[in-house]
Structure 1
């Protein structure tokens, strides 16, 4: 089933459509979420919340503004960032056991593998080094534009401009 065939079914709240939607997109959305949250359990919980948000807010999706996948990807990424910034999440991570430190090290070694599972890494690597750096911070590590500005020690406006230009370059590579 194509995305164009799926959208009307979702808008009509067809339960089969939810299953198809999940089957088509859950792996790639999970990769993005787990890349930000690191812990599998947190990523799984967030993925479930993301699909509920998608299902409840599908009426706000507009094909004229972009692809369904892009819209869902933004929901997933924003949900993961919201989870990272939540007070409860931060408090739960303050007292980590030594087992968690081993998992954190292993997870950081697998970051490229998780990014590559959605196929975007090869395209990001084609960008200018500054673009790779900005996309890494903003999209794969969950930094805000202000945090990226501070980290890179460049003005916020420059980060915004580079981000916009880099995303346009990435779109060009993805269209080829």
Structure 2
């Protein structure tokens, strides 16, 4: 079955289409969520919430605005970021054990595995180091542009300009 037809059936609340789309995309969505929250229990909870949200708002997806996969990944990413900004998540981080922090340090600079989880490794690797770092921080680690500005001690306007150029370069690479 073609993806377009599957998505249309999903939008018409077809459970079989939902199950098929879940099987197709859940692992990639989990990877994106995990790279932000770093907690398996939270990943499962967020993934479930995302699929409920997607099911309830399936009519808001339009192929004219972008790919279905991109729509799902963006919702997953935003839900994970929202979770990290919640009071409960911040409180739970105060009592984290050492393995949580070791895992963060080990994967801090591991852009290759992060982007490979959603299948764009070869595209991102062709960008400059600055672009790779910006994309990793903003899109894979959930930083805001302001947080990136503070992290790398660069003016916010400069971050926005560089990010816009990086995304433009990535778009050119992907579309060519």
Instruction: Please report the TM-score for the alignment, with normalisation by the length of structure 2.
Output: 0.89
1:70-119 per-residue CA deviation (whole Å, 9 max, x = no partner) reads 11111011000001111101101111234544555566587643432322
**Partner SS state of residue 20, structure 1:** helix
**In the alignment, what sits opposite 2:10?**
10
**Partner SS state of residue 64, structure 1:** coil
What is the distance in 2 between the residues matched to 1:122 and 1:5?
29
**In the alignment, what sits opposite 1:36?**
36
Cα deviation for residue 49 of structure 1 reads 1.0
1:132-176 per-residue CA deviation (whole Å, 9 max, x = no partner) reads 111011011110011111122222222222222212221222234
Unaligned runs of 5+ in 2: none
Instruction: Please report the TM-score for the alignment, with normalisation by the length of structure 1.
Output: 0.89
Query: CA contact under 8 A between 2:115 and 2:124: conserved in structure 1?
Result: no
**In the alignment, what sits opposite 2:174?**
174
**Coordinate RMSD, CA, aligned:** 2.0
Residue 117 of structure 2 corresponds to residue 117 of structure 1:
yes
What is the distance in 2 between the residues matched to 1:99 and 1:125?
29
**In the alignment, what sits opposite 2:149?**
149
Higher mean displacement: 3-12 or 92-101: 92-101
**Partner SS state of residue 63, structure 1:** coil
Q: Aligned pair count?
A: 176
**In the alignment, what sits opposite 1:160?**
160
Query: CA contact under 8 A between 2:111 and 2:136: conserved in structure 1?
Result: no
What is the distance in 2 between the residues matched to 1:62 and 1:75?
14
What is the distance in 1 between the residues matched to 2:64 and 2:161?
24
**In the alignment, what sits opposite 2:65?**
65
**Partner SS state of residue 123, structure 2:** helix
What is the distance in 1 between the residues matched to 2:150 and 2:103?
28
**In the alignment, what sits opposite 1:128?**
128
Cα distance change, pair 106–161 in 1 and its aligned pair in 2 (3 A): closer
What is the distance in 1 between the residues matched to 2:109 and 2:159?
27
**Partner SS state of residue 165, structure 2:** helix
**In the alignment, what sits opposite 1:95?**
95
